[in-house]
Amino acid sequence: MQPPNLDKFKKYFNRNKQSIQEIVREPTAGGIVFRRTKAGDVEILLIQDHKDRWTIPKGHVEEGETAQETARREIGEEAGLHAVDMLGWLGKIHFRYRRIDKLVLITQQVYLMRVKTDGNEIQKEEWMNGIKWFPFNEALDLIEYEDIGKLMLLAMKRIRQENL
């Protein structure tokens, strides 16, 4: 019997990486923002980040701010949408990533929001590669993060049940 080929595991044991020196917790909040078309269809607002990943608008909770206040502020700052109805909390997402020698733990609160206008006033920030309204099914296909996709399904269920 031959010994196993361990080459495929070398990436997990890279000796050049710095070890984790610090764990950083970063609370964030954002929103699944929707609008109705003239035909009554639901469209979801997505932003495209600098790595071309489609996601929802979100940002860091600032000191003295609630997650709900952060979500509303970030929708205004990132998308230019200031007239929105906050329709409720959808859930919390946890994820992590490495930033050099730090392990960053993100907790993201996600809210359901409906734009009060036609939503055509959206504006792209400089760091974004895109911002656009998508039909619900297309938005669901484009979203890069599975947990956000699950919350989008929950949002659509609530939109239909409550006839929002």
Structure confidence by residue, pLDDT tens digits, 64-104: 999 999 999 999 999 999 999 999 999 999 988 888 888 88
Which has the higher per-residue pLDDT, 160 or 18? 160
Q: Could you count the other beta carbons within 10 Å of the beta carbon of residue 40?
A: 6
CB 143 within 8 A of CB 61: no
Count of Cβ atoms closer than 10 Å to residue 82 Cβ: 14
Tens digit of pLDDT for each residue in 146-159? 999 999 999 999 99
Q: What is the pLDDT of residue 145?
A: 87
- The pLDDT value recorded for residue 7 is 64
Other Cβ atoms within 10 Å of 150 Cβ, number? 15
Q: Residue 71 carries which side chain, given as an amino acid letter?
A: A
Residue-range domains of the chain with CATH: 18-161 (3.90.79.10)
**What integer is the mean pLDDT of 25-37?**
94
The confidence score (pLDDT) of residue 6 equals 60
Work out the number of other CB atoms within 10 angstroms of the CB of residue 79.
25
DSSP-based three-state secondary structure for 105: strand
* Per-position DSSP letters for 9-60, written without gaps between them: GGGGG-TTSPPP-EEEEEEEEEEEEEEE-TTS-EEEEEEE-TTS-EE--EEE
Arithmetic mean of pLDDT over the chain? 89
What distance in Å separates the CA atoms of residue 118 and residue 149, rounded to the nearest whole number?
24
